Amino acid sequence: MESLNDLRKQRIDKLGRIRDLNLEPFAYAYEQTHFAADIVAAFTGEEQESVSVAGRLMTVRRMGKASFAHLMDRSGRIQLYIKQDHIGERSYDLFKLLDIGDIVGVTGTVFKTRTGETTVLAESLTLLAKNLRPLPIVKEKIEDDEKVIFDQFADKEMRYRQRYVDLIVNPDVRDVFIKRSRIVSEIRRYLEGRGYLEVETPALQPIYGGALARPFVTHHNALDMQLFLRIADELYLKRLIVGGLDGVFEIAKDFRNEGMDRDHNPEFTMLELYVAYQDYTFMMDLVEDMVGRLCTDVLGSHTLPFHGRTIDFRSPWKRIGYMDAVSEAVGEEVHDRDEAEIRNVAKKAGIDVGDLSGRGALLDAIFSARVEPDLWNPTFITDFPIELSPLAKKHRSRPGLTERFEAFVAGMELCNSFSELNDPVDQRERFEAQTRLKEAGDEEAMVLDDDYLRAMEYGMPPTAGLGIGIDRLVMLLTDSPSIRDVILFPTMRPEQ
């Protein structure tokens, strides 16, 4: 009788047998004096050091009255050697009742086995938490300095739904999320070090804005009103620029009610930064410098592997104008062409323009199909058409364009930035153009935000703004193929 239920019953039965030994299977605390990896790194083979380690049993090899096991803590693994004549009969009886997955504390002395593995010779063994549900058994060995893994826990659905199991048995997964955490704290440190203020703005908004996207809608009972989950922080952060905070950033979840794929999750983390008295060229330099800093400080290199190739994050990144990139891709100048001419160019290039209308949308179709996929090493695409950029300032010298750039890496958009539009009259006209698109059925068009315009009418300094998708940045820096590999609990349909 050993279905999952029976395996659980066996282990629940062990709880009683452990209590029969006068031991409690769920402890309150345990004093750790060392972490596994530190012991392994520091031990020379001489000293008779006593250590207390705590963690999860990952392997057990029993040989009658003596056994070896591996314990895993936050730092890594260390081998345990448990001998009945060392820890006593009662503790060894306890050990015989333990399973892979149990959490234990062990005090003992460090030594090296005959085969040279640094090991803790146990003097005492404490059960800290009994496992009742069998863990996937992943085995590994080192062959020709390569780690070979057997029976890896690989089912993506189970890995995402039960991330706790994934984290226990797949050390690479754990490494990715540790790196993610370091990347975010390094960004904070970088920005705080330059005097920018971290702020928090509403996630529940009566009017959504700051990006072109469909929102999630919710309802507030007490106010009996519709609220939207933010699709961007942008308009609130720029209100703070009006308010004189001059340099503000926010690292927060945005929510967009759209499709999901390798690089889209409905909730995702965005860094937005606004700096008064600067323009988009300042922001380009900042992005290049900050990402470069992350490469060296977190990953230890400016050239990183990604999808079997290498990404070179060294400065300076390539910079190319949007219209130049499109012209080059189709082998034809598109700068001064009107909508009909650009439609023809797109068709000639074999791009399905379907029912697209508007010069900007057509250019974007060409850009997405012919330019974006080929941008492997970090590249700034600059000076986007005004139709695509309702919150960006008109280019100071090139009509029809805005002072805006996006950085692309490995065919993926990494960030979006512009010299912020600070002319309230111009901004009102752009909003009105968006309203016309919305009335024509564009569900992603922006909604006019009167309070934002009111704020801008009080006077907004020239400002550079930036948004970086943190999830995508982490994907690039950790060679992760899917956004779900860098989000601890990606959005899933519920089970059953």
Cβ at position 241, least distance to RNA in Å: 21
> Do the beta carbons of residue 385 and residue 373 sit within 8 Å?
no
- The contacts of residue 46 (CB under 8 Å, 6+ apart) are none
Of residues 152 and 296, the one with the C-beta less far from RNA: 152
Nearer to RNA, 270 or 275 (CB): 270
Which residues, other chains included, contact 349 with Cβ-Cβ below 8 Å and sequence gap of 6+? Answer: 329, 330, 366, 369, 370
7 or 488, CB closer to RNA?
7
Beta carbons of 385 and 402 less than 8 angstroms apart: yes
Smallest gap, in angstroms, from Cβ of residue 454 to RNA? 25
Nearest to RNA of 347, 454 (CB atom): 347
Shortest Cβ 363–RNA spacing (Å): 12
Smaller CB distance to RNA: residue 18 or 242? Answer: 18
The least distance separating RNA from the CB of residue 155, rounded to whole angstroms, comes to: 4
Instruction: CB nearer to RNA: give 197 or 492.
Output: 492
The whole-angstrom separation of Cα 311 and Cα 376 is: 7
- Which lies closer to RNA via its Cβ, residue 160 or residue 405? 160
Collapse the DSSP code of 407 into the 3-class scheme (helix H, G, I; strand E, B; otherwise coil) and give the result: strand
Residue 53 or residue 455: which is nearer to RNA going by CB? 53
Instruction: List all residues 6 or more positions away from 195 whose beta carbon is below 8 Å from its beta carbon.
Output: 247
**Closest CB 27 distance from RNA, rounded Å:** 20
* Identity of the amino acid at 197: L
Residue 169 Cβ, how far from RNA at the closest point, in Å? 8
- Cα separation of 156 and 110, whole Å? 38
d(CA 173, CA 161): 14
240: nearest Cα among 189, 203, 199, 280: 199
Q: Is 122 helix (H, G, I), strand (E, B) or coil?
A: strand
Give CA 449 to chain center in angstroms.
Answer: 31
CB of 153 to RNA, least distance (A): 5
Minimal distance in Å, beta carbon 327 to RNA? 20
Q: Write out the two tokens for 55.
A: 């963690």
Minimum distance between the CB of residue 126 and RNA, rounded to whole angstroms? 19
- Give SS3 for 192: helix
Cβ-count burial of 147 within 10 angstroms (0-12 exposed, 13-18 middle, 19+ buried)?
A: exposed
Q: What is the DSSP letter of 373?
A: G
The answer to whether 164 and 136 are in contact (CB under 8 A) is no
Q: State the minimum distance, in angstroms, from the CB of residue 383 to RNA.
A: 17
Using the minimum distance from each CB to RNA, give the nearer residue, 204 or 260: 260
Nearer to RNA, 28 or 150 (CB): 150
Least distance between RNA and beta carbon 308 (Å): 13
Give me the residues paired with residue 26 across strands.
129
Query: What strands lie across the sheet with 225-229, from one edge to the other?
Result: 204-205, 225-229, 217-220
Is residue 376 within 8 Å of residue 311, measured between CB atoms? yes
Three-class secondary structure of residue 155 per DSSP: coil
- 115 vs 221, which CB is nearer to RNA? 115
Helix (H, G, I), strand (E, B) or coil at 218: strand
